[in-house]
Amino acid sequence: MTDKYILKKDHLLPLLRKLKKNHRLIAPLRNRHGDTLFTEIDQLDDVRLDLANQPQNSLKQFFFPQQEVLFTYRNPGPDSYHFEPAAGESPPSLYFGVRPCDLSAVLYMDVVFLKNARDPHYLHRRRNSILVGLNCNGPFANCFCNATRNGPFVDFGFDLQLTDLGDRFLVELDRSRGQEIISAWRQFFAAADDKDVKAQYQAFLEARGKFSLQVHLDLAARRLADDQVSESVWHELSMRCQDCGGCAYICPTCTCFSIRDRQTSESGGERIRNWDACTFSGFTRMAGDHNPVDRQMRGIEKRFRHKLQFDMKKDNRPSCVGCGRCVNICFGGTDIVRFINMTCCENT
């Protein structure tokens, strides 16, 4: 049992204080309005670390900001057009309290941003990141990571992973940076014994029994693959979709973006990338108003097919991590759980 450790809860803040010396620290904090959000910690003593609630945001914004400058350009005359790299360094950052859904989403973003081409902005931030996860002892009302198979516990992808065992955390390692932390701050970590590992397994079994939603994701994915989802499902959902883009913005795995210029002076500007959503009609509309997607009737189809069919076909896993945030935010009632339920209830 050399790779599992115990961290006493009393020692958590002292450990974070040590880690904060060399890292930007991001963790779920409860603000004064009662909202829990992943936030950069300014002063450890002033904040309320909240490991009991699901943060409303995921880590997406930290690796892939809602808006960022890709480079700047100068265009002092028609025959002169120059492009300069944007400044902006990402300091070493430690993300604490990352639940399995959000951790899996980061692993998915790695594929999106680094597989076809290596996005330098993402890569830089990712390289400077340490992920300290937290297994979910109790899923929340809209959670269904059991159906997406990336929770409530995970055993890879993190640098360190904590499991709440009451008065202590069981600490596991996967990537090398986790080992570096353990080695550097040896005084905080005691070796875990058999009893601790059994307690973790017990917590895992209990957590699995606590999901309140039943989401038959596999069945929906199979029906999509077999082309058994009827047109009426797409039409009903597209009619109800209010086109707000909230699902894509809140989704930890929705990474579509647009690039545009923002002129900042007579002779220059910035090229900006910002979040976009495949549910918007402008997402596919080409110059001259030609749109290869019938937005009125199938506006929302692409999003679900991408997550549950195309990515399934490519990687044999959905690009939905079951965090349930879209269920909460969608005010048209066209979230992915509703889609899955509609698909599964159909008599085909």
Partner 1 sequence: MTMPSPDKDLYRPRPAEIREVIVENSQIKTFVLAFADREYNASFTYQPGQFMMVSVPHCGEAPISISSTPAKSGTIHLSVRRAGRLTAALHDMRQGDAVGLRGPYGRPFPMTDLLGRDLLFVAGGIGLAPLRSVINTCLAAGHDRRITILYGSRTPADIAFKGDLATWGQTAGVSCLLTVDRTEPGWAGEVGLVTGLFARCALDPDETTALVCGPPMMIRAVLAQLAERGVADGNIITTMERHMSCGVGICRHCHMDEKLVCQDGPVFTLAELKQLKVMELQG
Partner 2 sequence: MAGLATTFGSGAMTNSINEIENAQVMLVIGSNTSEAHPQVARRIFSAMDRGARLIVIDPRRTLMAGRADIHLAIRPGTDIPLLNAMMRIILDENLADDLFIEMRTENFYGLRDMLFRIDLDETARITGVDLARIRAAAQLYGRAQKAVICYCLGITQHVCGTANVQAIANLAMLTGHVEKEDTGVDPLRGQNNVQGACDMGALPNVFPSYQQVDIDDFREKFERAWNVSLPVQPGLTLMEMTHGGKNGPLRAMFIMGENPMLSDPGIATVGETLDNLEFLLVADIFLTETAARAHVVLPAASFAEKTGTFTNSERRVQMVRRVIPPLGQSRTDADIIMELSSRLGYAMDYESPAEIMEEIAMLAPIYGGMQHDRLENSWGLQWPCWDRGHPGTPFLHKYYFTRGKGRFIPAVHEPPAELPDDDYPFLLITGRIYHQYHTGTMSRRSPLLSREAGEALLQLHPDDGRRLGVRSGDVVRMRSRRGEVQVKAQLTDVVKAGEVYTTFHFSEMPVNVLTISARDHFSQCPEYKICAVHLAKVCDP
Q: Which is nearer to partner 1, 73 or 204 (CB)?
A: 73
**From the CB of 303, what's the least distance to partner 2, in Å?**
16
Give yes or no for residue 287 binding partner 1 (CB under 8 A). Answer: yes
Q: Which does 114 bind (CB under 5 to 8 A by kind): partner 2, partner 1, none?
A: partner 1
Rounded Cα distance between 1 and 219, Å, is 39
Give yes or no for residue 65 binding partner 1 (CB under 8 A). Answer: no
Of 124, 216, 240, 338, the one binding partner 1 (CB under 8 A) is 124
**Looking at the DSSP assignment, which residues form a beta bridge with residue 28?**
38
Rounded Cα distance between 258 and 212, Å, is 37
Closest CA relative to residue 133, chosen from 165, 85, 99, 104: 99
Give yes or no for residue 212 binding partner 1 (CB under 8 A). Answer: no
Residues 292-321 that bind partner 2 (CB under 8 A): none
Of 17, 186, 198, 314, the one binding partner 1 (CB under 8 A) is 314
Closest CA relative to residue 213, chosen from 281, 142, 138: 142
Give yes or no for residue 280 binding partner 2 (CB under 8 A). Answer: yes
∠ CA 119-124-128, rounded to 5°: 145
Of 212, 263, 274, 348, the one binding partner 2 (CB under 8 A) is 274
Q: Which stretch binds partner 2 (CB under 8 A): 115-123, 138-146, 203-211, 282-290?
A: 282-290
Q: Which is nearer to partner 2, 228 or 263 (CB)?
A: 263
Q: Which is nearer to partner 2, 44 or 293 (CB)?
A: 293
Number of residues that bind partner 1 (CB under 8 A): 56
Closest CA relative to residue 303, chosen from 259, 342, 254: 254
Give yes or no for residue 10 binding partner 2 (CB under 8 A). Answer: no
Rounded Cα distance between 280 and 214, Å, is 29
Q: Which does 79 bind (CB under 5 to 8 A by kind): partner 1, partner 2, none?
A: partner 1
By the 8 A CB rule, do 144 and 336 touch?
no
Which two tokens mark 238? 């597209």
**From the CB of 302, what's the least distance to partner 2, in Å?**
16
Rounded Cα distance between 174 and 225, Å, is 34
**From the CB of 228, what's the least distance to partner 1, in Å?**
15
Q: Which is nearer to partner 1, 34 or 288 (CB)?
A: 288
Rounded Cα distance between 114 and 110, Å, is 6
Rounded Cα distance between 238 and 300, Å, is 6
Dihedral angle sign, alpha carbons of residues 115, 117, 120, 122: negative
- For the stretch 192-231, what's the b/e string if a residue is b when 16 or more beta carbons lie within 10 angstroms of its beta carbon? beeebbebbeebeeebeeebebebbbbebbbbbeeeebee
Long-range residue pairs from 115-121, CB within 8 A, at least 24 positions apart, any chain: 121/68, 121/70
Residues 217-276 that bind partner 1 (CB under 8 A): 255-261, 263, 269, 271, 273, 276
Q: Which stretch binds partner 2 (CB under 8 A): 2-10, 151-159, 217-225, 235-243?
A: 235-243
Give yes or no for residue 282 binding partner 2 (CB under 8 A). Answer: yes
Interface ranges with partner 1 (CB under 8 A): 70-71, 73, 75, 78-83, 85, 112-120, 123-124, 126-127, 175, 177, 255-261, 263, 269, 271, 273, 276, 278, 283-288, 292-294, 302, 305-306, 309-311, 313-314
